[in-house]
Structure formats: structure tokens, C-alpha cells
Amino acid sequence: MQKTSTIQELNCYHCGEKCINNKINSADKIFCCEGCKMVFQILNETDLCDYYNLNKNPGISQQIKVRKDKFAFLDDKKIQNQIISFSDEEQIHVTYYLPQMHCSSCLYLLENLYRINPGIVSSKVNFTRKEVDIVLLTPATSLRKVTETLTSIGYEPYISLNDLKQKRPAINKSMVYQLGVAGFCFGNIMLMSFPEYLGIDASDTGLRSIFRWMNFGLAIPVLLFSALPFIHLLGKA
């Protein structure tokens, strides 16, 4: 009879990828690479290992290393101003898109970022849009350090420098001007119509005609400029 030998398959405790051997380990857990082991150690040190209880192998594989100076561009104030949504002398508010977000474990970990980086005041996750809104204290940390913290635990933010270089389209203010002209004209038409409401003697019919012609003149810009969007709609109907 032939003896069959069964080889136990080893899977990474963090990401679930297959492990070549059991040499990379920590706290009786086996990992596929030093990156996954490092993430586990970070979570273990900050008492965030409940991350692994919510889903099986919830982490992202860390076999591809990120170079240390990858986010050095975030030290540039001009680039920071294009990314952040609010800043003052003490705080910075930033929203990051995290394409790696995929389960409840991610939600748990990202909302507890302050336990990994004390400079983070809060982190609110929008799971549907895969975004996290972070508030950080500038004396305690920086935009670059927060980005590196996210990357170190497997959630590298998507930041496109090409998108940042593109100028935002200018706001079309034509409708604002149209509304302003309409408001100015209607307001003055109302003022010059008071003689009609209050009553004018027969001897002042010439004054009444002047007010009427002035009101007619004020109505022309409303018709030819402010009403253009409605005229276009009627033309398409």
C-alpha cells in the first residue's frame, strides 16, 4: 500500500495569501511576508486585533513594499492646499479615497486610526464611497505622516498628481447675473408703480405716462437677458 502524505497549506493570518513556509511568524501567527507581519504587530501593539475577529483574513497583502520617500511631495504647501478641505494653525481636515476598503474590518480599523497615530483627532468613514475624512493636529503630526500611517497598515490613499495639476473648471456666473438684473428691474418697477396704486389726478396723466414708459424700459433687459434660459426651453419644446 502506498502511503499518502498530506501537506498542510499555510495561509497568511493577515491577508490569507499562501505562505511558502512558517518562518515569518509573530505571536504564534504565520505571515506571507514581513509587511503583513509588521501590520499585525502595529495592530497588536495598539490593541486593535479585533480587526481580525470581524472577518477572516481581512488585510491587504503587503508583499509589494512602498518606498520611504513616496509621499515626500506632501511636504509641499502648494500640494497640501490642493488636497486639504480645511486648515488653521492647529488642525487640518482631509478626505482620502481608499480603494482597498472592502469589509467591516476595514471600517473598524479606519475609525480607530487615532490609536495608531495620536495626532489624528478623528476619522469618519464613508464606506459606500470608500472615503475617510480625517482631522489631524498639525503640532502632533503632518499630512505626510498620516498618509504613511494609512499606507503602513495596507490602506494607501489614491492621490493623483495629474488630477491635482488640472485646473478646476470656472463657475458659470451668467445665471447669477441674470437673476441680479431681474431683481434690480423688478424692484424698480415696483417702486415706480406706486403712483398707479395710490392714484394720480387727471392733471398728472403725463407723469403717469412717464412712469409707464420707464417700467417698459426696465422690462426689456428682463426679457432679452434674464429670461433667456426660459426662452431656450420654449424653443426646445
Q: Which of 43-52, 102-111, 120-129, 172-181 has the lowest mean pLDDT?
A: 172-181
Instruction: Give the pLDDT confidence of 106-133 residue by residue, as tens digits.
Output: 999 999 999 999 999 999 999 889 999 9
What are the backbone angles phi and psi of residue 47, rounded to the nearest 5°?
Answer: 60, 45
The yes-or-no verdict on residue 237 having pLDDT over 60 is no
Band of residue 3 on the pLDDT scale cut at 50, 70, 90: very low
Q: Three cell numbers at 144? A: 505626510
pLDDT for 108:
92
The yes-or-no verdict on residue 220 having pLDDT over 60 is yes
The yes-or-no verdict on residue 172 having pLDDT over 70 is no
Which single residue is written with the C-alpha cell 477572516?
A: 56
Band of residue 204 on the pLDDT scale cut at 50, 70, 90: low
Residue-averaged pLDDT of the chain: 84
Contacts 24+ apart (CB under 8 A), 123-130: 125/101, 127/101, 129/97, 130/97, 130/98, 130/99, 130/101
Tell me which of 145 and 193 has the higher pLDDT: 145
Global confidence as pTM:
0.61
Instruction: Give the pLDDT confidence of 60-91 residue by residue, as tens digits.
Output: 888 777 777 889 989 998 888 888 889 888 99
Helices (H), the chain: 34-45, 51-54, 77-83, 104-110, 143-152, 161-165, 174-192, 194-198, 205-221, 228-236
